[in-house]
Protein backbone atom coordinates (compact mmCIF):
# COMPACT_ATOMS: atom_id res chain seq x y z
CA UNK A 1 0.00 0.00 0.00
CA UNK A 2 1.43 3.35 -1.02
CA UNK A 3 1.96 6.04 1.58
CA UNK A 4 0.12 9.28 0.81
CA UNK A 5 -0.41 12.50 2.73
CA UNK A 6 -4.17 12.25 2.35
CA UNK A 7 -4.18 8.84 3.98
CA UNK A 8 -2.40 10.26 7.00
CA UNK A 9 -4.60 13.38 7.27
CA UNK A 10 -7.76 14.22 9.14
CA UNK A 11 -10.22 16.34 7.16
CA UNK A 12 -12.48 18.94 8.76
CA UNK A 13 -15.59 19.93 6.82
CA UNK A 14 -16.75 23.53 7.04
CA UNK A 15 -20.27 24.49 6.03
CA UNK A 16 -19.41 28.17 5.62
CA UNK A 17 -22.92 29.54 6.02
CA UNK A 18 -23.09 28.20 9.57
CA UNK A 19 -19.48 28.37 10.76
CA UNK A 20 -18.66 31.94 11.80
CA UNK A 21 -20.11 35.29 10.76
CA UNK A 22 -17.61 38.16 10.82
CA UNK A 23 -19.81 41.06 9.70
CA UNK A 24 -23.09 40.67 11.54
CA UNK A 25 -25.30 39.84 8.57
CA UNK A 26 -26.27 36.52 10.15
CA UNK A 27 -24.44 34.44 7.53
CA UNK A 28 -21.10 32.77 8.07
CA UNK A 29 -18.29 33.99 5.81
CA UNK A 30 -14.68 33.52 4.79
CA UNK A 31 -13.30 36.12 7.20
CA UNK A 32 -15.14 34.22 9.91
CA UNK A 33 -13.31 31.05 8.89
CA UNK A 34 -9.98 32.89 8.89
CA UNK A 35 -10.65 34.06 12.44
CA UNK A 36 -10.98 30.42 13.50
CA UNK A 37 -7.89 28.92 11.89
CA UNK A 38 -6.11 28.92 15.27
CA UNK A 39 -8.99 26.85 16.57
CA UNK A 40 -8.73 24.37 13.70
CA UNK A 41 -5.01 24.12 14.14
CA UNK A 42 -5.41 23.48 17.83
CA UNK A 43 -7.82 20.66 17.05
CA UNK A 44 -5.07 19.20 14.89
CA UNK A 45 -6.89 18.69 11.62
CA UNK A 46 -4.73 19.26 8.57
CA UNK A 47 -7.14 19.40 5.63
CA UNK A 48 -10.15 21.70 5.39
CA UNK A 49 -12.99 20.82 3.02
CA UNK A 50 -15.08 23.87 2.27
CA UNK A 51 -18.66 23.31 1.21
CA UNK A 52 -19.32 25.54 -1.84
CA UNK A 53 -18.33 29.21 -1.60
CA UNK A 54 -18.95 30.07 -5.26
CA UNK A 55 -21.49 32.60 -6.42
CA UNK A 56 -24.97 31.19 -5.94
CA UNK A 57 -28.57 32.29 -5.48
CA UNK A 58 -28.69 29.77 -2.61
CA UNK A 59 -31.66 27.69 -3.54
CA UNK A 60 -29.65 24.78 -2.12
CA UNK A 61 -27.14 26.77 -0.03
CA UNK A 62 -24.39 27.06 -2.60
CA UNK A 63 -24.89 23.67 -4.28
CA UNK A 64 -26.54 25.69 -7.06
CA UNK A 65 -23.67 27.63 -8.61
CA UNK A 66 -24.26 30.62 -10.87
CA UNK A 67 -20.58 31.48 -11.37
CA UNK A 68 -17.75 29.03 -10.76
CA UNK A 69 -15.13 31.77 -10.99
CA UNK A 70 -16.44 34.07 -8.26
CA UNK A 71 -17.06 33.94 -4.55
CA UNK A 72 -20.58 34.29 -3.15
CA UNK A 73 -20.97 37.90 -2.06
CA UNK A 74 -22.39 36.93 1.33
CA UNK A 75 -19.19 34.95 1.98
CA UNK A 76 -16.71 37.63 0.88
CA UNK A 77 -14.42 38.24 -2.06
CA UNK A 78 -11.78 36.39 -4.04
CA UNK A 79 -9.27 38.39 -1.96
CA UNK A 80 -10.73 36.82 1.18
CA UNK A 81 -10.52 33.40 -0.42
CA UNK A 82 -6.86 33.91 -1.38
CA UNK A 83 -6.12 35.07 2.16
CA UNK A 84 -7.74 31.94 3.58
CA UNK A 85 -5.78 29.67 1.26
CA UNK A 86 -2.53 31.50 2.02
CA UNK A 87 -3.11 31.39 5.77
CA UNK A 88 -3.86 27.66 5.72
CA UNK A 89 -0.80 26.93 3.60
CA UNK A 90 1.40 29.04 5.92
CA UNK A 91 0.44 26.69 8.68
CA UNK A 92 1.02 23.54 6.69
CA UNK A 93 -2.71 22.91 6.31
CA UNK A 94 -4.51 22.14 3.06
CA UNK A 95 -7.76 23.24 1.43
CA UNK A 96 -10.15 21.08 -0.54
CA UNK A 97 -13.02 22.70 -2.47
CA UNK A 98 -16.43 21.33 -3.32
CA UNK A 99 -16.77 20.54 -7.02
CA UNK A 100 -20.43 20.76 -8.02
CA UNK A 101 -20.62 19.83 -11.69
CA UNK A 102 -23.59 17.53 -12.04
CA UNK A 103 -25.66 20.69 -12.31
CA UNK A 104 -25.43 24.47 -12.14
CA UNK A 105 -27.87 27.08 -10.96
CA UNK A 106 -30.60 28.09 -13.42
CA UNK A 107 -29.04 31.54 -12.98
CA UNK A 108 -25.72 30.41 -14.48
CA UNK A 109 -25.02 32.21 -17.76
CA UNK A 110 -24.86 28.88 -19.60
CA UNK A 111 -28.43 28.09 -18.57
CA UNK A 112 -29.69 31.60 -19.20
CA UNK A 113 -28.41 31.18 -22.76
CA UNK A 114 -29.54 27.58 -23.05
CA UNK A 115 -33.17 28.33 -22.33
CA UNK A 116 -33.33 31.23 -24.82
CA UNK A 117 -33.85 29.18 -27.98
CA UNK A 118 -33.48 25.69 -29.36
CA UNK A 119 -30.61 26.76 -31.58
CA UNK A 120 -28.67 28.72 -28.96
CA UNK A 121 -25.01 27.54 -28.83
CA UNK A 122 -25.53 26.67 -25.13
CA UNK A 123 -28.76 24.71 -25.71
CA UNK A 124 -26.92 21.42 -25.57
CA UNK A 125 -25.15 22.30 -22.30
CA UNK A 126 -28.24 21.01 -20.50
CA UNK A 127 -30.68 18.17 -21.01
CA UNK A 128 -33.80 19.29 -22.91
CA UNK A 129 -36.59 17.03 -24.10
CA UNK A 130 -39.98 17.63 -25.70
CA UNK A 131 -43.07 16.56 -23.78
CA UNK A 132 -44.53 13.10 -24.18
CA UNK A 133 -47.98 13.75 -25.70
CA UNK A 134 -48.45 16.72 -23.45
CA UNK A 135 -46.99 14.98 -20.40
CA UNK A 136 -43.49 15.06 -18.91
CA UNK A 137 -40.81 13.16 -20.87
CA UNK A 138 -40.76 10.38 -18.25
CA UNK A 139 -41.82 9.47 -14.72
CA UNK A 140 -38.53 9.98 -12.85
CA UNK A 141 -38.70 11.42 -9.36
CA UNK A 142 -36.38 14.20 -8.23
CA UNK A 143 -34.18 13.74 -5.14
CA UNK A 144 -35.94 16.82 -3.77
CA UNK A 145 -39.50 15.55 -4.48
CA UNK A 146 -41.69 16.01 -7.55
CA UNK A 147 -40.64 15.36 -11.14
CA UNK A 148 -37.09 15.72 -12.51
CA UNK A 149 -38.57 17.61 -15.48
CA UNK A 150 -39.47 21.28 -15.51
CA UNK A 151 -41.40 22.82 -18.38
CA UNK A 152 -39.92 25.98 -19.85
CA UNK A 153 -42.42 28.13 -21.68
CA UNK A 154 -39.91 29.99 -23.78
CA UNK A 155 -39.14 27.02 -26.01
CA UNK A 156 -41.96 24.68 -24.99
CA UNK A 157 -39.58 21.92 -23.80
CA UNK A 158 -38.65 20.35 -20.49
CA UNK A 159 -35.21 20.41 -18.82
CA UNK A 160 -33.90 17.76 -16.46
CA UNK A 161 -33.02 18.49 -12.82
CA UNK A 162 -32.22 15.59 -10.49
CA UNK A 163 -32.28 18.06 -7.57
CA UNK A 164 -34.28 21.32 -7.37
CA UNK A 165 -35.73 22.98 -10.44
CA UNK A 166 -33.16 25.71 -9.89
CA UNK A 167 -30.41 23.09 -10.35
CA UNK A 168 -30.59 22.04 -14.03
CA UNK A 169 -28.35 19.05 -14.85
CA UNK A 170 -25.43 19.65 -17.16
CA UNK A 171 -25.19 17.55 -20.28
CA UNK A 172 -21.90 15.68 -19.84
CA UNK A 173 -22.38 14.02 -23.21
CA UNK A 174 -21.38 17.36 -24.72
CA UNK A 175 -17.55 17.57 -24.98
CA UNK A 176 -17.68 21.36 -24.73
CA UNK A 177 -19.32 21.08 -21.31
CA UNK A 178 -16.56 18.75 -20.19
CA UNK A 179 -13.88 21.09 -21.47
CA UNK A 180 -15.37 24.12 -19.77
CA UNK A 181 -15.56 22.22 -16.51
CA UNK A 182 -12.00 20.95 -16.78
CA UNK A 183 -10.78 24.49 -17.46
CA UNK A 184 -12.60 25.72 -14.39
CA UNK A 185 -10.97 22.98 -12.31
CA UNK A 186 -7.54 24.06 -13.57
CA UNK A 187 -8.34 27.65 -12.55
CA UNK A 188 -8.77 26.61 -8.90
CA UNK A 189 -5.93 24.10 -8.88
CA UNK A 190 -3.58 26.66 -10.34
CA UNK A 191 -4.51 28.94 -7.47
CA UNK A 192 -3.05 26.20 -5.30
CA UNK A 193 -6.03 24.44 -3.76
CA UNK A 194 -5.30 20.91 -2.64
CA UNK A 195 -8.16 18.93 -4.06
CA UNK A 196 -11.85 18.46 -4.63
CA UNK A 197 -14.78 16.83 -2.94
CA UNK A 198 -16.85 15.86 -5.94
CA UNK A 199 -20.54 16.47 -5.36
CA UNK A 200 -22.92 13.76 -6.61
CA UNK A 201 -20.26 12.75 -9.10
CA UNK A 202 -21.75 9.36 -9.95
CA UNK A 203 -24.87 10.94 -11.48
CA UNK A 204 -23.17 12.81 -14.33
CA UNK A 205 -23.86 10.09 -16.92
CA UNK A 206 -27.51 9.30 -17.63
CA UNK A 207 -29.17 6.65 -19.76
CA UNK A 208 -29.88 9.04 -22.59
CA UNK A 209 -32.99 7.30 -23.88
CA UNK A 210 -34.61 8.40 -20.59
CA UNK A 211 -36.95 5.41 -20.26
CA UNK A 212 -39.78 5.35 -17.70
CA UNK A 213 -38.80 3.81 -14.37
CA UNK A 214 -40.79 0.80 -13.11
CA UNK A 215 -43.70 1.80 -10.90
CA UNK A 216 -42.92 1.09 -7.26
CA UNK A 217 -44.77 3.94 -5.60
CA UNK A 218 -48.39 4.90 -5.79
CA UNK A 219 -47.80 8.55 -6.43
CA UNK A 220 -46.89 10.02 -9.76
CA UNK A 221 -43.09 9.95 -9.87
CA UNK A 222 -40.79 6.97 -9.49
CA UNK A 223 -37.28 6.45 -8.14
CA UNK A 224 -35.04 6.02 -11.17
CA UNK A 225 -31.49 5.75 -9.86
CA UNK A 226 -30.83 2.74 -12.11
CA UNK A 227 -30.90 5.18 -15.03
CA UNK A 228 -28.58 7.84 -13.65
CA UNK A 229 -26.36 6.43 -10.88
CA UNK A 230 -23.05 5.00 -12.17
CA UNK A 231 -24.42 5.56 -15.66
CA UNK A 232 -23.08 4.11 -18.93
CA UNK A 233 -20.38 6.70 -19.61
CA UNK A 234 -19.43 7.59 -16.04
CA UNK A 235 -16.05 5.86 -16.07
CA UNK A 236 -15.20 7.39 -19.42
CA UNK A 237 -15.99 10.89 -18.11
CA UNK A 238 -14.03 10.31 -14.91
CA UNK A 239 -11.12 8.89 -16.87
CA UNK A 240 -11.02 12.01 -18.96
CA UNK A 241 -11.14 14.19 -15.85
CA UNK A 242 -8.25 12.27 -14.36
CA UNK A 243 -6.17 12.46 -17.48
CA UNK A 244 -6.85 16.11 -18.29
CA UNK A 245 -6.88 17.48 -14.75
CA UNK A 246 -6.13 15.36 -11.68
CA UNK A 247 -3.04 13.64 -13.01
CA UNK A 248 -1.28 17.00 -13.27
CA UNK A 249 -1.41 17.87 -9.55
CA UNK A 250 -0.57 16.38 -6.14
CA UNK A 251 -4.07 16.63 -4.75
CA UNK A 252 -6.71 14.76 -2.83
CA UNK A 253 -10.00 13.82 -4.48
CA UNK A 254 -13.04 12.34 -2.79
CA UNK A 255 -16.22 11.47 -4.63
CA UNK A 256 -19.71 11.63 -3.22
CA UNK A 257 -21.13 8.33 -4.46
CA UNK A 258 -24.53 7.37 -3.06
CA UNK A 259 -25.30 3.72 -3.58
CA UNK A 260 -21.73 2.75 -4.54
CA UNK A 261 -20.76 -0.86 -3.88
CA UNK A 262 -17.28 -1.93 -2.73
CA UNK A 263 -16.68 -3.32 -6.24
CA UNK A 264 -17.41 0.09 -7.76
CA UNK A 265 -15.33 1.74 -5.07
CA UNK A 266 -12.35 -0.42 -5.98
CA UNK A 267 -12.75 0.46 -9.65
CA UNK A 268 -13.02 4.17 -8.85
CA UNK A 269 -10.29 4.44 -6.20
CA UNK A 270 -7.64 1.82 -6.94
CA UNK A 271 -4.15 3.23 -7.17
CA UNK A 272 -3.31 1.84 -10.59
CA UNK A 273 -6.19 2.95 -12.73
CA UNK A 274 -8.83 4.45 -10.48
CA UNK A 275 -10.25 7.95 -10.97
CA UNK A 276 -10.26 9.40 -7.46
CA UNK A 277 -8.47 8.83 -4.17
CA UNK A 278 -11.45 7.86 -2.08
CA UNK A 279 -15.19 8.07 -2.00
CA UNK A 280 -18.04 8.52 0.43
CA UNK A 281 -19.91 5.25 0.56
CA UNK A 282 -23.45 5.57 1.92
CA UNK A 283 -24.32 2.12 3.16
CA UNK A 284 -23.68 2.76 6.83
CA UNK A 285 -25.75 5.94 6.89
CA UNK A 286 -28.54 4.34 4.94
CA UNK A 287 -28.68 1.46 7.37
CA UNK A 288 -32.10 2.65 8.55
CA UNK A 289 -34.36 -0.08 7.30
CA UNK A 290 -37.73 0.44 5.68
CA UNK A 291 -38.98 1.03 2.20
CA UNK A 292 -40.19 4.55 2.76
CA UNK A 293 -36.83 6.10 1.88
CA UNK A 294 -34.82 8.54 3.90
CA UNK A 295 -37.67 9.99 5.92
CA UNK A 296 -39.30 6.79 7.08
CA UNK A 297 -36.42 4.81 8.58
CA UNK A 298 -35.20 5.87 11.97
CA UNK A 299 -33.76 2.80 13.58
CA UNK A 300 -30.49 1.02 13.09
CA UNK A 301 -28.68 -1.78 14.84
CA UNK A 302 -25.06 -2.38 15.64
CA UNK A 303 -24.87 -5.78 13.97
CA UNK A 304 -25.80 -4.29 10.59
CA UNK A 305 -23.50 -1.36 11.17
CA UNK A 306 -20.53 -3.64 11.97
CA UNK A 307 -21.31 -5.84 9.00
CA UNK A 308 -21.35 -2.87 6.63
CA UNK A 309 -18.23 -1.23 8.05
CA UNK A 310 -16.37 -4.54 8.03
CA UNK A 311 -17.38 -5.25 4.45
CA UNK A 312 -15.92 -1.91 3.34
CA UNK A 313 -12.81 -2.25 5.49
CA UNK A 314 -12.00 -5.74 4.23
CA UNK A 315 -12.89 -5.33 0.60
CA UNK A 316 -11.02 -2.09 0.01
CA UNK A 317 -7.91 -3.09 1.92
CA UNK A 318 -4.91 -2.86 -0.37
CA UNK A 319 -7.21 -2.19 -3.33
CA UNK A 320 -8.78 1.20 -2.72
CA UNK A 321 -9.12 3.64 0.16
CA UNK A 322 -11.99 4.39 2.53
CA UNK A 323 -13.23 7.73 3.75
CA UNK A 324 -14.53 7.57 7.31
CA UNK A 325 -17.51 9.65 8.35
CA UNK A 326 -20.66 9.52 10.41
CA UNK A 327 -21.83 13.09 9.76
CA UNK A 328 -21.86 15.84 7.20
CA UNK A 329 -24.11 18.72 6.18
CA UNK A 330 -26.69 16.31 4.71
CA UNK A 331 -27.00 13.98 7.69
CA UNK A 332 -28.38 14.20 11.22
CA UNK A 333 -25.85 14.82 14.00
CA UNK A 334 -23.99 11.61 14.80
CA UNK A 335 -24.28 11.81 18.58
CA UNK A 336 -28.07 12.06 18.25
CA UNK A 337 -28.30 9.33 15.65
CA UNK A 338 -25.80 6.69 16.74
CA UNK A 339 -25.01 7.76 20.31
CA UNK A 340 -26.92 9.30 23.18
CA UNK A 341 -27.46 13.05 23.21
CA UNK A 342 -28.82 13.24 26.77
CA UNK A 343 -27.39 11.29 29.72
CA UNK A 344 -24.23 10.03 27.99
CA UNK A 345 -23.68 12.89 25.62
CA UNK A 346 -19.93 13.35 26.07
CA UNK A 347 -19.22 9.65 26.57
CA UNK A 348 -21.03 8.57 23.44
CA UNK A 349 -19.63 11.43 21.33
CA UNK A 350 -16.12 10.30 22.31
CA UNK A 351 -16.91 6.63 21.79
CA UNK A 352 -18.21 7.22 18.25
CA UNK A 353 -15.12 9.24 17.40
CA UNK A 354 -12.83 6.52 18.73
CA UNK A 355 -14.60 3.79 16.83
CA UNK A 356 -14.47 5.72 13.57
CA UNK A 357 -10.98 7.25 13.71
CA UNK A 358 -9.28 3.93 14.43
CA UNK A 359 -10.66 2.32 11.25
CA UNK A 360 -8.63 2.22 8.06
CA UNK A 361 -9.34 5.27 5.92
CA UNK A 362 -9.23 9.05 6.09
CA UNK A 363 -11.42 10.44 8.90
CA UNK A 364 -13.71 13.40 8.24
CA UNK A 365 -14.87 15.61 11.11
CA UNK A 366 -17.95 17.72 10.37
CA UNK A 367 -17.99 21.13 12.06
CA UNK A 368 -19.42 20.98 15.56
CA UNK A 369 -19.00 17.22 15.81
CA UNK A 370 -15.82 17.84 17.80
CA UNK A 371 -17.86 19.42 20.60
CA UNK A 372 -20.71 16.92 20.28
CA UNK A 373 -23.29 19.21 18.66
CA UNK A 374 -26.70 17.56 18.55
CA UNK A 375 -29.84 17.49 16.42
CA UNK A 376 -32.28 20.38 16.78
CA UNK A 377 -36.07 20.10 17.07
CA UNK A 378 -37.70 23.32 15.93
CA UNK A 379 -41.37 23.46 16.88
CA UNK A 380 -42.51 25.03 13.63
CA UNK A 381 -41.80 24.20 10.02
CA UNK A 382 -41.23 27.94 9.54
CA UNK A 383 -37.88 27.63 11.32
CA UNK A 384 -36.59 25.16 8.72
CA UNK A 385 -34.56 26.35 5.74
CA UNK A 386 -33.48 23.20 3.87
CA UNK A 387 -35.09 22.82 0.45
CA UNK A 388 -35.25 19.03 0.70
CA UNK A 389 -37.12 19.26 4.01
CA UNK A 390 -39.45 22.01 2.83
CA UNK A 391 -40.31 20.27 -0.45
CA UNK A 392 -41.03 16.98 1.30
CA UNK A 393 -43.23 18.79 3.85
CA UNK A 394 -45.19 20.65 1.18
CA UNK A 395 -45.72 17.53 -0.91
CA UNK A 396 -46.76 15.45 2.10
CA UNK A 397 -49.19 18.06 3.41
CA UNK A 398 -50.76 18.25 -0.06
CA UNK A 399 -51.14 14.45 0.09
CA UNK A 400 -53.04 14.79 3.37
CA UNK A 401 -50.31 13.75 5.86
CA UNK A 402 -50.41 14.84 9.50
CA UNK A 403 -48.14 17.87 10.08
CA UNK A 404 -47.15 16.67 13.55
CA UNK A 405 -46.04 13.30 12.25
CA UNK A 406 -44.04 15.05 9.57
CA UNK A 407 -42.32 17.20 12.18
CA UNK A 408 -41.30 14.11 14.12
CA UNK A 409 -39.58 12.73 10.99
CA UNK A 410 -38.01 16.10 10.27
CA UNK A 411 -36.61 16.30 13.79
CA UNK A 412 -34.82 13.02 13.17
CA UNK A 413 -33.69 13.37 9.60
CA UNK A 414 -33.72 16.96 8.34
CA UNK A 415 -30.44 18.22 6.93
CA UNK A 416 -30.96 21.34 9.04
CA UNK A 417 -29.95 19.24 12.07
CA UNK A 418 -26.41 19.65 10.82
CA UNK A 419 -26.77 23.24 9.65
CA UNK A 420 -27.54 25.11 12.86
CA UNK A 421 -24.85 27.69 13.64
CA UNK A 422 -21.59 26.55 15.17
CA UNK A 423 -21.76 26.98 18.94
CA UNK A 424 -18.73 29.04 19.93
CA UNK A 425 -19.73 30.34 23.37
CA UNK A 426 -22.70 31.06 25.64
CA UNK A 427 -23.37 34.56 24.29
CA UNK A 428 -26.38 35.34 22.08
CA UNK A 429 -26.70 32.97 19.08
CA UNK A 430 -23.82 30.92 20.45
CA UNK A 431 -21.33 33.60 19.44
CA UNK A 432 -21.90 32.73 15.77
CA UNK A 433 -23.12 36.19 14.77
CA UNK A 434 -23.78 39.61 16.25
CA UNK A 435 -26.83 39.82 13.96
CA UNK A 436 -29.81 37.55 13.40
CA UNK A 437 -28.68 34.12 12.20
CA UNK A 438 -30.09 32.79 8.93
CA UNK A 439 -31.17 29.71 10.86
CA UNK A 440 -31.76 29.57 14.61
CA UNK A 441 -29.02 28.31 16.87
CA UNK A 442 -29.68 25.06 18.73
CA UNK A 443 -31.09 26.09 22.14
CA UNK A 444 -28.52 23.88 23.90
CA UNK A 445 -25.66 26.27 22.99
CA UNK A 446 -25.20 27.37 26.61
CA UNK A 447 -24.27 23.80 27.60
CA UNK A 448 -22.51 22.71 24.42
CA UNK A 449 -20.03 25.24 23.10
CA UNK A 450 -16.36 25.62 22.21
CA UNK A 451 -15.53 28.07 24.99
CA UNK A 452 -16.68 25.63 27.65
CA UNK A 453 -14.68 22.78 26.20
CA UNK A 454 -11.46 24.21 24.90
CA UNK A 455 -9.60 24.31 28.23
CA UNK A 456 -11.31 21.35 29.83
CA UNK A 457 -9.03 18.32 29.51
CA UNK A 458 -12.03 16.00 29.72
CA UNK A 459 -14.08 17.68 27.02
CA UNK A 460 -15.19 16.12 23.78
CA UNK A 461 -13.02 18.69 21.99
CA UNK A 462 -9.86 17.65 23.81
CA UNK A 463 -10.69 14.02 23.28
CA UNK A 464 -10.83 14.63 19.52
CA UNK A 465 -7.55 16.47 19.78
CA UNK A 466 -5.90 13.50 21.47
CA UNK A 467 -7.38 11.09 18.98
CA UNK A 468 -6.11 13.12 16.05
CA UNK A 469 -2.64 13.34 17.59
CA UNK A 470 -2.49 9.57 17.98
CA UNK A 471 -2.85 9.26 14.21
CA UNK A 472 0.31 11.27 13.70
CA UNK A 473 2.26 9.07 16.15
CA UNK A 474 1.19 5.56 15.23
CA UNK A 475 1.31 4.49 11.62
CA UNK A 476 -0.65 1.36 12.53
CA UNK A 477 -3.72 3.61 12.80
CA UNK A 478 -3.28 4.65 9.20
CA UNK A 479 -1.92 1.54 7.55
CA UNK A 480 -2.67 -1.43 9.81
CA UNK A 481 -4.94 -4.17 8.47
CA UNK A 482 -8.41 -4.63 9.96
CA UNK A 483 -10.10 -7.59 11.62
CA UNK A 484 -13.50 -7.66 13.32
CA UNK A 485 -13.75 -9.56 16.59
CA UNK A 486 -16.88 -10.41 18.60
CA UNK A 487 -18.75 -10.56 15.29
CA UNK A 488 -22.16 -11.21 16.76
CA UNK A 489 -22.02 -9.07 19.89
CA UNK A 490 -25.01 -6.74 19.78
CA UNK A 491 -23.57 -3.95 21.93
CA UNK A 492 -19.80 -4.01 21.48
CA UNK A 493 -17.95 -3.09 18.31
CA UNK A 494 -14.43 -4.45 18.74
CA UNK A 495 -11.76 -4.82 16.10
CA UNK A 496 -8.05 -5.09 15.70
CA UNK A 497 -5.60 -3.42 13.37
CA UNK A 498 -2.35 -5.21 12.66
CA UNK A 499 1.00 -4.03 11.42
CA UNK A 500 4.12 -6.21 11.64
CA UNK A 501 4.27 -7.53 15.23
CA UNK A 502 1.93 -4.91 16.62
CA UNK A 503 -1.79 -5.05 17.15
CA UNK A 504 -4.14 -2.23 17.95
CA UNK A 505 -7.26 -3.28 19.81
CA UNK A 506 -10.31 -1.04 19.65
CA UNK A 507 -13.24 -1.73 21.95
CA UNK A 508 -16.38 0.40 21.79
CA UNK A 509 -19.53 -0.12 23.83
CA UNK A 510 -22.49 1.24 21.84
CA UNK A 511 -24.95 0.69 24.70
CA UNK A 512 -26.09 2.74 27.69
CA UNK A 513 -25.59 -0.40 29.79
CA UNK A 514 -22.54 -2.11 31.29
CA UNK A 515 -20.90 -4.72 29.05
CA UNK A 516 -18.13 -7.22 29.57
CA UNK A 517 -15.20 -7.69 27.22
CA UNK A 518 -13.02 -10.77 27.79
CA UNK A 519 -9.32 -10.60 27.04
CA UNK A 520 -9.27 -14.20 25.92
CA UNK A 521 -10.29 -12.83 22.53
CA UNK A 522 -6.75 -11.55 22.22
CA UNK A 523 -4.98 -13.64 24.84
CA UNK A 524 -1.68 -14.31 23.14
CA UNK A 525 -0.61 -10.75 23.81
CA UNK A 526 0.74 -9.77 27.13
CA UNK A 527 1.87 -6.18 26.90
CA UNK A 528 -1.04 -3.86 26.82
CA UNK A 529 -0.60 -0.16 26.50
CA UNK A 530 -3.71 1.96 26.78
CA UNK A 531 -3.54 4.66 24.10
CA UNK A 532 -6.83 6.40 24.77
CA UNK A 533 -10.11 5.88 26.59
CA UNK A 534 -13.15 7.95 27.42
CA UNK A 535 -13.31 6.97 31.11
CA UNK A 536 -10.66 6.67 33.81
CA UNK A 537 -9.31 3.15 33.49
CA UNK A 538 -8.41 1.44 36.73
CA UNK A 539 -8.00 -2.27 36.21
CA UNK A 540 -4.87 -3.30 34.36
CA UNK A 541 -4.67 -6.92 33.36
CA UNK A 542 -7.88 -8.41 34.69
CA UNK A 543 -9.25 -11.29 32.60
CA UNK A 544 -12.26 -9.22 31.62
CA UNK A 545 -12.96 -5.55 31.21
CA UNK A 546 -16.18 -4.14 32.51
CA UNK A 547 -17.15 -1.49 30.02
CA UNK A 548 -19.18 1.41 31.30
CA UNK A 549 -21.99 2.94 29.19
CA UNK A 550 -20.54 4.02 25.84
CA UNK A 551 -17.03 3.28 27.02
CA UNK A 552 -14.30 3.07 24.40
CA UNK A 553 -10.69 1.99 24.76
CA UNK A 554 -7.79 1.60 22.41
CA UNK A 555 -4.88 -0.63 23.38
CA UNK A 556 -1.61 -1.21 21.63
CA UNK A 557 -0.67 -4.84 22.13
CA UNK A 558 2.83 -6.19 21.71
CA UNK A 559 3.66 -9.82 21.46
CA UNK A 560 5.69 -10.98 24.44
CA UNK A 561 8.86 -11.42 22.40
CA UNK A 562 8.80 -7.91 21.02
CA UNK A 563 8.40 -6.08 24.31
CA UNK A 564 9.47 -2.48 23.71
Closest separation between CB of residue 138 and ligand NOJ, Å? 20
| Beta-strand relationship, 54-55 and 67-71 | antiparallel
DSSP strand pairing (252-256 vs 278-280): parallel
- Which of 199, 264, 341, 369 is close enough to bind ligand NOJ by CB under 6 A? 199
Among 159, 163, 221, 312, binds ligand NOJ (CB under 6 A): 163
| Catalytic pick among 60, 150, 194, 199 | 199
Among the listed residues 330, 341, 369, 551, the single contact to ligand NOJ using CB under 6 A = 330
Segment 465 to 524, residues that bind ligand NOJ, using CB under 6 A: none
| Catalytic residue flag (residue 38) | no
Radius of gyration of the chain (CA): 24
Q: Is the Cβ–Cβ distance between 172 and 200 less than 8 Å?
A: no
Nearer CB in complex with ligand NOJ: 29/388? 388
Q: Which is nearer to ligand NOJ, 100 or 470 (CB)?
A: 100
Q: Is residue 200 part of the contact set for ligand NOJ (CB under 6 A)?
A: yes
Out of 256, 277, 330, 386, pick the active-site residue.
256
Q: What minimum distance in Å lies between the beta carbon of 322 and ligand NOJ?
A: 18
Is there binding between residue 100 and ligand NOJ (CB under 6 A)? yes
* Nearest approach, Cβ of residue 325 and ligand NOJ (Å): 12
- Distances in Å between the Cα of 389 and the Cα atoms of 207, 410, 414, 417 are 28, 7, 6, 11
Closest to 101 (Cα-Cα) out of 51, 64, 141: 64
Cβ proximity to ligand NOJ: between 200 and 362 the closer is: 200
Q: Is 106 a residue that touches ligand NOJ (CB under 6 A)?
A: no
Residue nearest to ligand NOJ (CB): 63
Distance CA 546, CA 492 (A): 12
**Contact criterion met (CB below 8 Å) for 387 and 164:** yes
Select 282 or 525, whichever has its Cβ closest to ligand NOJ: 282
Burial environment of residue 395 by CB neighbours within 10 A (0 to 12, 13 to 18, 19 or more): middle
Residues in the chain, overall count: 564
User: Active site includes 395?
Assistant: no
- Please spell the DSSP secondary structure of 308-351, one letter per residue: HHHHHHHHHTTTS-BEE-S--TTS--HHHHTS-SSTTHHHHHHH
Least distance to ligand NOJ from the beta carbon of 11, Å? 15
Please tell me whether residue 276 binds ligand NOJ under the rule CB under 6 A. Answer: no
By the rule CB under 6 A, 172 interacts with ligand NOJ: no
Which of 93, 418 has the CB closer to ligand NOJ?
418
Which residue, among 41, 47, 8, 39, has the nearest Cα to 472 in the 3D structure?
Answer: 8
Please say which residue, 202 or 515, places its beta carbon nearer to ligand NOJ.
202
Give phi and psi for 196, each to the nearest 5. -135, 145
Q: What's the DSSP call for residue 539?
A: -
| Alpha-carbon span 298 to 278, nearest angstrom | 28
Smaller CB separation from ligand NOJ, 114 or 167: 167
Whole-Å CA distances, 23 to 26, 62, 169, 368, 442: 8, 19, 34, 21, 21
Task: Tell me the closest approach of the beta carbon of residue 269 to ligand NOJ, in angstroms.
Answer: 19
Compute CA distances 141 → 195, 289, 339, 386, whole Å. Answer: 32, 21, 33, 18
Residues facing residue 481 across a β-bridge: 498
Count residues near ligand NOJ (CB under 6 A). 9
In the region spanning residues 51 to 90, those forming contacts with ligand NOJ, defined by CB under 6 A, are 60, 63
Smallest gap from Cβ 268 to ligand NOJ, in A, equals 17
Contacting positions for ligand NOJ (CB under 6 A): 60, 63, 100, 163, 199-200, 256, 329-330
Catalytic (active-site) positions: 199, 256
Amino acid sequence: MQKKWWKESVVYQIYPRSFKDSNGDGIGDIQGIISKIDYLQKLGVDVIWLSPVYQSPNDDNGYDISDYYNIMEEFGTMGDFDALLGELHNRGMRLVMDLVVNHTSDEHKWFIESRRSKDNPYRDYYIWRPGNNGARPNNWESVFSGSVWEFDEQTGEYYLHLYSKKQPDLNWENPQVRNDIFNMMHFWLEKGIDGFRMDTITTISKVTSFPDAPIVKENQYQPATQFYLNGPRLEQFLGEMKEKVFSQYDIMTVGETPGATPEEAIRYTNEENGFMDMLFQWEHIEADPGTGGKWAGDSWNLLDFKRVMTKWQKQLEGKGWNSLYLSNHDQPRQVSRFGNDTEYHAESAKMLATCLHMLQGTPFVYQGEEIGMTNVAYESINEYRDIETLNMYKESIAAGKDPNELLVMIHKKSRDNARTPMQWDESAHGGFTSGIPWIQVNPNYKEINVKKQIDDPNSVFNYYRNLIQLRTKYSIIVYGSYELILDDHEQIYAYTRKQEDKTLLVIANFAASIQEFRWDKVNHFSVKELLISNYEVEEKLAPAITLKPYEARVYLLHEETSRL
